[in-house]
Amino acid sequence: MKIEKANAGFLTNFEVLDFLRSRGAKIDPMGCLGAVAASECKVYEYLLKTPACNQTRESIDEFVTRCESFKLTNADKLNVINWRPSSAADAYAMIEECGRRFSKDERGEAHNEDERVKEFLELVKEVLPPPPPKPEAMTE
Amino acid sequence: MFVLSQIEHNLPMPPHLLSRPLLDAIKSELERLFLDKVVANLGLCVSVYDIRSVEGGFIFPGEGCSTYKVSFRLLMFRPFVGEVLVGKISGYDEKGLHVSLDFFSDICIPGHLMQYGTARALDGRWMLKTEDGDELYLDIDDEIRFLVSSIKYPPIPVEQKEDDRPFAPMQIIGSIKGDGLGLLAWWAADEEDGEDEAER
């Protein structure tokens, strides 16, 4: 076995979900025995619980074009598309060195980083659909 | 989380599959070989993405199977260092927490990579003491958001003792030290103020 390209491209959760759906994966484990293996079904079920389950290709494309000004790396974009941050803390977790990078805007002038983070979160909320509400609340 | 890897393999096609259409037979052989298995440094194979080319079909002397040189892409689960993942806590021990994604369970969050101030409570669970004096427990089945800090592919052990944990060919070490990481419940409540606890 020869590995030609160890990394032939990253995939967002949405693309994997789309791929498994097109192969015929369904939630019902008995329904997809022929086309899709049990381990693939597990991946499909896991992905349905993430915010990727109601994204569309268009919304992801729109998000990528509109966040040009924030100068995110591919890794940051992947984290944001996969997990849809909804608060400042989420954004700080998903974007590396968020405070330092957001303290300058696209022209290189000093800017208030909280405002940039808020702008960014507004963009995310507008473009990417919100994840469906969880069936039962997590109570401790 | 998922990466495509392009691989070329000399695949022997057993004779009992010769009656099936070639691409189907090759796909099912590849799935039998790679699906749900870990390839060192490439990750866990989730699915065969596509078959790019098939060459050959030679029969070597002394064998009954024809050998094809197949070039194909596999969908691998291989998170990169610095990626944020969400999983469920599946257990804890003195070293740290064990987290599982439904299809992958060898994720460990060691004690030194947890929020500052987390320690083991009396009953064995891990607990974070916040500034306000709240005790936040990390319980089984809680959803937890963590950062991937490293991925190890330990070599296959030559011999295993009876009660050792089953061998894990791919181990992910995670960290919950940082803003927005840790139990989802900790960060969900206050969207306006930001943090529920301090890590300083």
For residue B127, what pLDDT is reported? Answer: 79
> Chain A contacts of B82, Cβ < 8 Å?
75, 96
A&B contacts, CB < 8 Å = 121
Distance, in Å, from the CA atom of A17 to the CA atom of A25, rounded to the nearest integer, reads 9
Confidence label for A139 from pLDDT (cuts 50, 70 and 90): very low
Residue in A43, A38, A97 with CA at minimum distance from that of residue A71: A97
User: Measured between CB atoms, which of A5, A15, A39 is closest to B103?
Assistant: A39
Which distant-in-sequence residues (6+ apart) come within 8 Å of B44 by Cβ?
B36, B37, B38, B76, B77, B78, B103, B104, B170
For residue A135, what pLDDT is reported? Answer: 52
For residue A33, what pLDDT is reported? Answer: 62
> Percent of chain A, pLDDT > 70?
79
Distance, in Å, from the CA atom of B189 to the CA atom of B177, rounded to the nearest integer, reads 19
Residues of chain B with pLDDT under 50: 190-200
* A1 with B31: Cβ contact below 8 A: no
First to last CA, chain B: 30
Confidence label for A106 from pLDDT (cuts 50, 70 and 90): low
For residue B139, what pLDDT is reported? Answer: 79
> Chain A contacts of B77, Cβ < 8 Å?
43
A8, B6 in Cβ contact below 8 A? yes
Q: Pick the residue of A42, A43, A114 with the most B CBs within 10 A to test the interface with B by mutation.
A: A43
Q: Is the ipTM of this complex over 0.85?
A: no
For residue B17, what pLDDT is reported? Answer: 85
Confidence label for A64 from pLDDT (cuts 50, 70 and 90): confident
Helix ranges (DSSP H) in A67-112: 74-83, 88-94, 98-101
pLDDT higher for B63 or A102? B63
User: Measured between CB atoms, which of A15, A16, A83 is closest to B84?
Assistant: A83
User: Is 90 exceeded by the pLDDT of residue A103?
Assistant: no
User: Measured between CB atoms, which of B3, B10, B86 is closest to A10?
Assistant: B3
For residue B69, what pLDDT is reported? Answer: 92
Task: Tell me the CB-side half-sphere exposure of residue B113, using CA atoms within 13 A.
Answer: 19
Average pLDDT over every residue of A119-127: 83
Q: Which residues pair with A2 in a beta bridge?
A: B8
The DSSP 8-state label assigned to residue A108 in this structure reads S
For residue A124, what pLDDT is reported? Answer: 83
* B179 with A93: Cβ contact below 8 A: yes
User: Measured between CB atoms, which of A16, A40, A90 is closest to B2?
Assistant: A16
* B180 with A85: Cβ contact below 8 A: yes
Entry pTM: 0.80
Angle between helices A57-66 and A113-127 in degrees, nearest 10: 160
Instruction: Tell how far CA B78 is from the center of its chain.
Output: 7
The 10s digit of each residue's pLDDT in A22-45 is 887 666 666 556 667 778 888 888
pLDDT higher for B198 or A106? A106
